[in-house]
Chain A
Amino acid sequence: MSVRAGERALGKAVSRRGERTLGVLSAIALLGAMVMALFVTPPDAEQGQVFRLIYVHVPSAWLAYLSFAVVLVASIAYLRTTKTRWDRLAAASAEIGVVFTILTLVLGSIWAKPVWGTWWTWDPRLTTTAVLLLIYLGYLAVRRMTDDPRRRGTWSAVVGIVGFVDVPIVHLSVVWWRSLHQAPVVAKVAPRMAPVMAWTLVLSVVAFTLLYAYLMVLRLRVGRLEEKAVAEALSPRIGAAAAKAAVGG
């Protein structure tokens, strides 16, 4: 039942007007967040200007994991309903998620160099994110393995579910692995931040989330257009109803 409510909400968000609104909103929020991040907030007491990376690194990491959570939900929904729209959602989220995951790792690396002197410190959170990236890449590779949409959707859904379930275990194992060596941790999302910094971070996270939603809506629209094209190609041969069923209704 909650699946139907989800489908209705999705329907609203992906209308053309919804798309434009999202685009404008996310642009404004991003602009605001970047202005705050670069000019309004003070530099960090210990790390100086480099600390400003937190305003893109943390939201980026948040999105990397949010995207994968969406992949999980969409994968479960696809296995249960076999409706292509869920597979489309999962694939879109995975594609966008990969980008943010890579961004997180790159930013984490850029941050580590001036602060700790090395490009990579095997920080638990970044290491887990690196493994997450590999799982994402596995997901996308599985999608390229077959042309049949049913098989592609089912196989990648299995990877999406199993991969997501594995991530917390990976994280725990990496934390334990590191616990003997108190070596550098990259992002201190410390409670000692000044209020303006904390609010900027929140604004940044919201802005990035809006950006994610906008990119998703765009990608979903492209996906729907692709399907419409396929349905139109099939329709003269097998009938409109069957064509609709073939692309997943």
Chain B
Amino acid sequence: MSVLLEARAIAAKDLRIEVRGRYALAAVLPFAATLLIVFGLALGPGRATLQTTAPALLWLAVLFASVLSFRRSYEAETEDGALEGLALAPIDRAAIFLGKAAAVTVQLLLLEAAVLALVAVLFGLSVGSDPALLICAFVLGTMGLSAVGSLFGVLEASPRAREAVFPLLVLPLAVPVLLAGVKATAAATVADTGAAAVTTRSGWSWLLLLVAFDAVFIAAGTLVFGYLLED
């Protein structure tokens, strides 16, 4: 079977598990919502401040909540030792990485849609000015973030992983996603206050950075994932 077919089987399995378990609904989205409210309380109630910081708060909430999603992705593999089953199967290791990354990308995109709606309501972010840029920013940013999270999520399978190694690894590596995501979102949602001096044009150039990040991390993940499974 080709790598892509194998990856598709794994992605389908992951998504089916997520639909059954509804973990995103039960834990991840509430966590993101809590973060947003807490951010709002800490920074508000002045409308202007909240509007200018809205893109940043949006991406911060997504970044922190995504850690839960990556953990859950690998939790299903460790409950009964299923990860070993994947390692034993005669499939390309890269397929496991790509499949899990694809599945968690879909989950995160749905989460982001909800978070975006919340931010629009709570912080008065107008999402209409450049929807194409906004969607591309989220899709590309999420793909890159998922590549990082799905690669290092394997470390969660180790019993000692209860120390906060995973966020310590993922967040610094994902800095380009954070910066590009925030700037592109800010460009795409120019608020009425006119505070954003960023033009839509430079918003699109940030997308180029995301494309580069995605290419590098998907390639790197494909190449090295197998080593994380060997013993």
Q: Which residues of A contact B (CB under 8 A)?
A: 79, 131, 134-135, 137-138, 141-142, 144-146, 148, 150-151, 154-155, 157-159, 161-163, 165-166, 169-170, 172-174, 176-177, 180
Docked-complex contact B228 and A169, CB < 8 angstroms: no
Taking CB atoms, residues of chain B closer than 8 Å to A145 are: 155, 158, 160-161, 163, 165
Q: How long is the Cα–Cα vector from A154 to B154 in the complex, in angstroms?
A: 12
Q: With A138-B168, A145-B155, A162-B220 in contact, is A176–B231 under 8 Å at CB?
A: no
Q: With A142-B155, A142-B169, A166-B173 in contact, is A154–B216 under 8 Å at CB?
A: no
The closest CB in chain B to the CB of A162 belongs to B220
Cβ-neighbour of A173 out of B148, B171, B175, B220 (below 8 A): B175
CB neighbors of A among B58-116 (8 A): none
Q: How long is the Cα–Cα vector from A177 to B172 in the complex, in angstroms?
A: 16
List the one stretch of B22-30, B44-52, B128-136, B205-213 in contact with chain A. B205-213
Beyond A134-B172, A166-B217, A170-B175, list 18 extra A-B contacts (CB 8 Å): A138-B165, A138-B173, A141-B165, A144-B163, A145-B161, A146-B158, A146-B160, A157-B227, A159-B169, A161-B220, A162-B148, A166-B176, A166-B216, A169-B212, A173-B175, A173-B180, A176-B179, A180-B197
B44 to A: closest C-beta gap in Å = 25
* Interface assignment of B195: CB less than 8 Å from any CB of chain A: no
* Interface assignment of B198: CB less than 8 Å from any CB of chain A: yes
Docked-complex contact A162 and B151, CB < 8 angstroms: yes
The closest CB in chain B to the CB of A179 belongs to B202
Taking CB atoms, residues of chain B closer than 8 Å to A163 are: 173
Docked-complex contact A141 and B209, CB < 8 angstroms: no
B212-225 near A? 1/0 per residue, CB < 8 Å: 11001100100010
Q: How long is the Cα–Cα vector from A176 to B158 in the complex, in angstroms?
A: 38
Q: Which residues of B contact A (CB under 8 A)?
A: 148, 151-152, 155, 158, 160-161, 163, 165, 168-169, 171-173, 175-176, 179-180, 183, 197-198, 205-206, 209, 212-213, 216-217, 220, 224, 227-228, 230-231
Q: Can you name 20 A-B pairs with beta carbons within 8 Å?
A: A135-B172, A135-B173, A145-B158, A145-B161, A146-B158, A151-B231, A154-B228, A155-B228, A159-B169, A161-B224, A165-B220, A166-B216, A169-B212, A169-B213, A169-B216, A172-B176, A173-B179, A173-B180, A174-B179, A180-B197
The closest CB in chain A to the CB of B227 belongs to A154
Taking CB atoms, residues of chain B closer than 8 Å to A144 are: 160, 163
Q: How long is the Cα–Cα vector from A159 to B166 in the complex, in angstroms?
A: 11
Taking CB atoms, residues of chain A closer than 8 Å to B173 are: 135, 138, 162-163, 166
B210 to A: closest C-beta gap in Å = 9
Q: With A142-B169, A145-B158, A159-B169 in contact, is A176–B209 under 8 Å at CB?
A: yes
B185 to A: closest C-beta gap in Å = 14
A125 to B: closest C-beta gap in Å = 14
Q: How long is the Cα–Cα vector from A148 to B159 in the complex, in angstroms?
A: 13
Taking CB atoms, residues of chain B closer than 8 Å to A158 are: 151, 224, 227-228
Taking CB atoms, residues of chain B closer than 8 Å to A172 are: 176, 209
Q: How long is the Cα–Cα vector from A146 to B165 in the complex, in angstroms?
A: 12
Interface core residue of B148, B176, B212 (most chain A CB under 10 Å): B176
Interface core residue of A134, A161, A162 (most chain B CB under 10 Å): A162
Taking CB atoms, residues of chain A closer than 8 Å to B230 are: 154
Q: How long is the Cα–Cα vector from A173 to B207 in the complex, in angstroms?
A: 11
B167 to A: closest C-beta gap in Å = 9
Taking CB atoms, residues of chain A closer than 8 Å to B198 are: 180
Q: With A138-B168, A180-B197 in contact, is A169–B158 under 8 Å at CB?
A: no
The closest CB in chain A to the CB of B224 belongs to A158
Taking CB atoms, residues of chain B closer than 8 Å to A180 are: 197-198
Taking CB atoms, residues of chain B closer than 8 Å to A169 are: 176, 209, 212-213, 216
Taking CB atoms, residues of chain A closer than 8 Å to B231 are: 148, 150-151
Cβ-neighbour of B168 out of A137, A150, A166 (below 8 A): A137
Q: How long is the Cα–Cα vector from A177 to B212 in the complex, in angstroms?
A: 16
Docked-complex contact A141 and B212, CB < 8 angstroms: no
The closest CB in chain B to the CB of A151 belongs to B231
Taking CB atoms, residues of chain A closer than 8 Å to B158 are: 145-146, 151
A172 to B: closest C-beta gap in Å = 7
Taking CB atoms, residues of chain B closer than 8 Å to A151 are: 158, 231
B61 to A: closest C-beta gap in Å = 19
A160 to B: closest C-beta gap in Å = 10
Interface core residue of B152, B197, B206 (most chain A CB under 10 Å): B152
